[in-house]
Chain A
């Protein structure tokens, strides 16, 4: 099977896991997990230089999920990469679980740093990239941020510092799904024009369809070539992507699918794979 199809299947697997995990937990954030699934799949199964058997390998590439509420998709990618058993995904958000409601590096192997208080992850990523420069290491730092999240002032403080210190080893990805908790970002608190803002903060920008695997891979290789400045991949996405009745539905930001909905969602996702395999 070609690389693109196998990554599509990987992303589909992450989506299935997200549905099963949140349905089992009875809470969580499926919408923003589904919108990020293709990006996360490309990172974990193609782009990142990492070693699941040695999560603390000093030369590993770092990934920070700044929009930490989307951790179901991260946990699925970690488990499917071999950081911990896939069965553990079912413990999401349960008492005593290593899989917390928001990422916690002291509990989950492969998680770099606590995130979920929006705006904080990108600053931490800047720090990691800066450490890479200090130590003359070749690792790269990737950070996924939300389009609602960029309303936080801290994001722009981080953006300023990353270009000031010429962190070309830093690559942010914006999950541009157009929605936040209270509705469309343009209605709640518009951060537009987005591309111009990042450009004026001194970043290299690449705009892509965040569900198109070749475009995602291409953007990541482009980012690697950019010297002297950080890159942001502005990924146009659909919140709830992959499940017809969850797509662009604001409520599925922070609501788990009910058991029946989960069943339907899984059927849809599995049907998609069958089509690719033929």
Chain B
């Protein structure tokens, strides 16, 4: 395994770079400057940083107002409070008004760990995905995070970018083919297609290696953009393999698994297995323990791949 970097750390760094370039970039947080790493931007650009206190709903409303006055706004809290507590403000003030607000949330998923379920967002993607105009991105590592944040700041309109708390493996050391709205294949294989996002991409790549040793050739596709979903790559992969697995650190309803299912059902139905959290809340524990308990390991992806292969017949 190579380097380990938390996606929130990459976010903190790239935000400072973007602050230099875009003088109208304003950053908000809700008493979580250090945890979200927006404190870096705060010390570099104190005049364009506002701590809104523990008041996420107001933060999203203020973000909308700032954006309506030609600011590019990054509003950052934990994923559960950004999307859950402030959902209707994000829906109406930000998305309905189609404003330039980038909701960049850290602490997505159960890898939050010991804080437990109150702080583990496992429904955020399903909350953000149906909002008209919203773009939803879940970067797989630090490198892709920087590209995604840059793309969000440089693209007009609302974004939801989901980042994580712990350090995770860097997959893209030198270059990353990230393009907003595009999935991309990282391995070739004709037996099964594995679509993954966020930290699950690493697990998918591990699973791919193990499967290959057992003679199963999987194509692993990074679906960091969940909305707009890249229908073309999903249909292509389904045609090439006839069997699909999705993997996400989220409930299996409403997120990546649902997005891929919808495209398949409407265009080219093939057997599908979804790896993710199965209709339960998280709990306290280390990220590793929780990934095991909640079925989010490479092993779980391998099993899903074998199961879907049997169904393919």
Contact = CB atoms under 8 A, between A and B. Distances in A.
B116 A101 contact: yes
B293 A95 contact: yes
A95 B51 contact: no
A97 interface: yes
A102 interface: yes
Interface stretch (B52-60, B139-147, B189-197, B240-248): B52-60
B119 A182 contact: no
A182 B285 contact: no
Interface string A157-192: 000000000000000000000001110000011010
A94 B31 contact: no
A259 B285 CA distance: 20
A27 interface: yes
Nearest to A180: B31
Interface in B33-49: 33-35
A88 to B, nearest CB: 14
From A100, A148, A152, A182, residue with most partner B Cβ within 10 Å: A182
Contacts of A38: none
A149 interface: yes
Interface string A106-134: 00000000111111000000000000000
A116 B55 CA distance: 14
A187 to B, nearest CB: 8
B115 interface: yes
Contacts of A151: 31, 53-55
B164 to A, nearest CB: 16
Contacts of B117: 100, 102, 104
A interface, how many residues as a size bin? 20 to 34
A149 B54 contact: yes
A100 B283 contact: yes
B119 A102 contact: yes
Contacts of A182: 29, 31-34, 51
A95 B116 CA distance: 10
Given A100-B117, A114-B118, A180 B284 contact: no
Contacts of B290: 95
A153 B58 contact: yes
B31 to A, nearest CB: 5
Interface string A20-57: 00000111100000000000000000000000000000
A25 B116 CA distance: 13
Given A95-B285, A101-B284, A182-B31, A117 B114 contact: no
Interface of B: 29, 31-35, 51-55, 57-58, 80-81, 84-85, 113-119, 283-286, 289-290, 293
18 contacts: A26-B114, A95-B283, A100-B284, A101-B115, A102-B118, A102-B119, A104-B116, A114-B118, A116-B116, A116-B119, A118-B54, A148-B53, A152-B55, A153-B57, A181-B31, A182-B31, A182-B32, A189-B31
Given A104-B117, A189-B31, 13 more contacts: A93-B285, A96-B285, A101-B118, A116-B116, A119-B54, A148-B31, A180-B31, A181-B35, A182-B29, A182-B31, A182-B33, A182-B34, A188-B51
Nearest 5 CB-CB pairings of A with B: A189-B53, A95-B285, A101-B116, A116-B118, A151-B53
